Chains A and B, each alone.
Chain A
Amino acid sequence: MKFWSYFRDHTGCTETALELAKGTTLGETHAAVLDEFPKLAGSKNSTLKAVGLKYEDDGFVLSDGDEVSFFPPVQGG
């Protein structure tokens, strides 16, 4: 999984890999990430989540090799 913007400052890394059980959802993955990187907890409700190039909701079931991105609200313009 990858972290963008100031989430990188909170995690101290641009990406990490997690081993997850088959059938794990994006929401469960987010919870696992918050356990590993507690500094992200303050942004829990505003975190945007994408799998590959698409936004997905917490119920999305991940597949082997999926690239997950976590990032704060976007700010283009």
Chain B
Amino acid sequence: MAKCREMGKGIGAVICFSGVVREIEGDTLITAIDYEAHEEMAHHQFGLIFDAVEKRWPVESVHVVHRIGVVPVNEPSLWVEVTAPHRAEAFDACQFVIDEMKQKVPIWKKSIPA
């Protein structure tokens, strides 16, 4: 995906993270996770996170996709891509986006048992 995108010539790092649904949730074997979101608020909260990233690191872009609805085991529920001049800020910003999302973005999950 990142390969197909246009990037500035100063970009030296592209970090792509995929969060994948595991078959074990706690002690329970599951087949999928059903995600629900307060979508309007989720967009707003992601916007605040992107603003915070922009103030803290010289990243060129941040893209996030979070699936909503039923996501089967082994499939990605989350995709994050960060482009930046250097890998240190790209990794840090990517980690920050995910950490903040897990605290502030109104998305919830319900496991579907096997």
Contact = CB atoms under 8 A, between A and B. Distances in A.
Contacts of B13: none
B78 A53 contact: no
B107 interface: yes
The majority secondary structure among interface residues of chain A is: loop
A76 B107 contact: yes
Q: How large is the interface on B (under 10, 10 to 19, 20 to 34, 35 or more residues)?
A: 20 to 34
Contact of A71 (B40, B98, B108, B109): B108
A77 interface: yes
Interface of A: 2, 4-6, 48, 50, 53-55, 69, 71-72, 74-77
Given A4-B106, A74-B102, A74-B106, 14 more contacts: A4-B36, A5-B108, A5-B110, A50-B106, A53-B44, A53-B45, A55-B104, A69-B41, A69-B106, A71-B38, A74-B107, A75-B107, A77-B98, A77-B107
